[in-house]
């Protein structure tokens, strides 16, 4: 990926910027992939989002020095790109293997299959949560962002984010306990 990005960079740019962009790719590409994959549930599409995120970074490289929190800025770009892409992807195009990638591979096949099916059920219920609750929960649980980072990404206050996560967890717990199909 670094080679692809460096090919797209103008040759007249200082070496420092190239080094900084390479460091950003090295540091954040895995996190950005998790963010995109948590929304799209399609590894190929998520990889495209990561590349598109760094293309945006290159387009706005002059503003890099003004960015206060690079991690949040990059996650917000990836998050928004993934949400835009998700609106264009039909549910049947999403990869069903997403949940199957999460369980441990050291388990017996029947246990791994059971865990994968449970994860798929959880993701189906997460998809049914109200939009803001779903987004806050995904950013918190799957992408491991803290409350201030989520608040900045979602343009909400810290207390609003905490409330969204609390409600999302409560709704999810209730639905899973009841086996809610609605």
**pLDDT digits 0-9 by tens, 14-55:** 556 678 778 888 988 999 998 888 888 888 889 999 999 988
If pLDDT is split at 50, 70 and 90, which confidence band does 108 have? low
15-22 — which CB contacts under 8 Å span 24+ positions? 17/61, 17/64, 20/64, 21/54, 21/57, 21/58, 21/61
Q: Which domains does the chain have, with CATH numbers?
A: 2-88 (1.10.1740.10), 96-178 (1.10.10.10)
Q: Of 1 and 83, which is predicted with more confidence?
A: 83
Where is average pLDDT lowest: 39-43, 65-69, 110-114, 174-178? Answer: 110-114
pLDDT at 10 over 50: no
Please give the model's pTM, rounded to 2 decimal places.
0.57
């Amino acid at each position: 990926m670094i080679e692809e990005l460096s090919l797209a960079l103008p040759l007249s740019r200082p070496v420092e910027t190239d080094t900084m962009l390479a460091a950003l790719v090295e540091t954040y590409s895995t996190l950005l992939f998790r963010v995109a994959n948590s929304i799209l549930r399609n590894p190929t599409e998520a990889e495209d989002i990561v590349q598109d995120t760094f293309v945006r970074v290159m387009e706005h490289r002059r503003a890099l020095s003004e960015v206060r929190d690079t991690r949040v800025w990059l996650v917000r770009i990836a998050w928004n790109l993934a949400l835009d892409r998700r609106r264009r992807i039909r549910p049947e195009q999403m990869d069903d293997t997403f949940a199957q990638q999460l369980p441990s591979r050291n388990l017996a096949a029947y246990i791994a299959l059971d865990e994968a099916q449970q994860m798929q059920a959880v993701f189906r219920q997460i998809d049914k949560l109200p939009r803001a609750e779903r987004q806050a929960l995904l950013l918190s649980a799957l992408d491991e962002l803290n409350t201030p980072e989520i608040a900045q990404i979602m343009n909400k206050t810290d207390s609003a984010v905490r409330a969204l996560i609390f409600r999302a967890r409560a709704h999810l717990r209730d639905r899973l306990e009841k086996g809610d199909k609605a």
